[in-house]
């Protein structure tokens, strides 16, 4: 099954507005989704840049989102546990929560990947992408993605 993931801030394969990057406010963009199976128990989102100079760079790891929510607002707080009970992991900048696009040069692609899971992950906040991917193995019911681009503007 496929989850339809979109953002009111930018369209799939288009440019991400500057306010969601390290060159401005560095806040998470609003996300909306549909198509989560009724049997899902939680949702996870991983955001990464495959064009980073050192290989794939993880910008955001959030998991154990309630399966019945339909999106996230702009500027999700950078804290361990959210009000809805979701946990946030550590990104590759070694921070909890969202870290926006910050390409040193050229156009980079940023993939927001969403997963509907048949369980709540047995992980505490501060887990890494690797921890989450390992815990999700065998538990993914549906997934989807949204890709935005960003280029450093002088």
What is the number of domains present in the chain? 1
Handedness of CA 57, 16, 86, 99 (dihedral sign): positive
The per-residue pLDDT for 1 is 83
For the domain that residue 97 is a member of, what is the CATH number? 3.90.280.10
pLDDT, one tens digit for every residue, the chain (154 residues): 899 999 999 999 999 999 999 999 999 999 999 999 999 999 999 999 999 998 999 999 999 999 999 999 999 999 999 999 999 999 999 999 999 999 999 999 999 999 999 999 999 999 999 999 999 999 999 999 999 999 987 6
What is the pTM (predicted TM-score) of this model? 0.97
d(CA 153, CA 124): 37
The per-residue pLDDT for 152 is 87
d(CA 3, CA 11): 16
Among 69, 81, 143, smallest CA distance to 112 is for: 143
Instruction: Say if residues 27 and 50 touch (Cβ distance below 8 Å).
Output: no
- Within 8 A by CB and 6+ apart from 142, the residues are 1, 2, 3, 35, 36, 37, 40, 115, 116
Among 125, 129, 137, smallest CA distance to 49 is for: 129
The per-residue pLDDT for 84 is 96
The per-residue pLDDT for 57 is 97
- Within 8 A by CB and 6+ apart from 134, the residues are none
What is the span of the domain harbouring residue 125? 4-151
Burial class (CB in 10 A: 0-12, 13-18, 19+), 22: middle
């Amino acid at each position: 099954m496929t989850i339809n993931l979109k953002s009111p801030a930018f369209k799939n394969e288009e440019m991400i507005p500057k306010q969601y990057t390290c060159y401005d406010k560095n806040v998470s963009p609003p996300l909306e989704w549909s198509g989560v199976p009724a049997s899902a128990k939680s949702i996870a989102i991983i955001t990464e840049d495959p064009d980073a100079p050192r290989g794939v760079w993880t910008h955001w790891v959030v998991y154990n989102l309630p399966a019945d929510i339909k999106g996230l607002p702009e500027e999700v707080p950078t804290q361990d546990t959210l009000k809805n009970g979701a946990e946030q992991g550590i990104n590759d900048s070694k921070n909890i929560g969202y870290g926006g696009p910050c390409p040193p040069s050229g156009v980079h692609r940023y993939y927001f990947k969403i997963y509907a899971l048949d369980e709540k992950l047995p992980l505490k906040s501060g887990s890494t992408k690797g921890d989450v991917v390992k815990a999700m193995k065998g538990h993914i019911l549906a997934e989807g993605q949204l890709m935005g681009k960003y280029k450093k503007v002088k």
